[in-house]
Structure 1
């Protein structure tokens, strides 16, 4: 299977922006990173990497995060 090229600056920038939107929604819901990670059955370090924009979560993971926080998926990935 061929390897994908490294992400462009636009992609890494959007990944960081999505992580920031997840963090803001989580804080608005008065949840800790640990609480969300537990709700979605994910290691805390892995969840933290998502919020920091260090990893590219699968769509299924983003859906689980949105459900755990109690917001629509579109709230986490919208561009402003």
Structure 2
């Protein structure tokens, strides 16, 4: 049985966070593949996060923030 879709505000926040991650990655001069290697995931995982298709764990968000040299709070504000 499929889960109910999240409320619209959750999807909006996912898009905002994904966009901030993408901007920070590009500012750091990294491709999705390079960022994925730095944090130990498949590049498709980075793509899904940036395009609001998945919910990353807190641990992964911390690793991404470290890899792009941006405080976690700036990515998820």
Query: TM-score, normalized by length of structure 2?
Result: 0.91
Aligned equivalent of 1:29: 28
- Aligned pairs (5 A) from 1:55-74: 55-74=54-73
TM-score (ref. length: structure 1) = 0.88
1:46 aligns with 2:45: yes
Matched with 2:76 is 77
The Cα of 1:5 is off from its aligned counterpart by 4.4
Q: Secondary structure at the match of 1:55?
A: coil
Per-residue Cα deviation, 1:7-54 (whole angstroms, up to 9, x for no partner): 100001100110000000111111111111000010011111001110
Q: How many residues align?
A: 76
Deviation at 1:4, TM superposition (A): 6.4
User: Shift in Å at residue 6 of structure 1?
Assistant: 2.7
Gaps of 5+ in 2: none
> Which runs of 5 or more structure 1 residues have no equivalent in the other structure?
none
SS at match of 1:57: coil
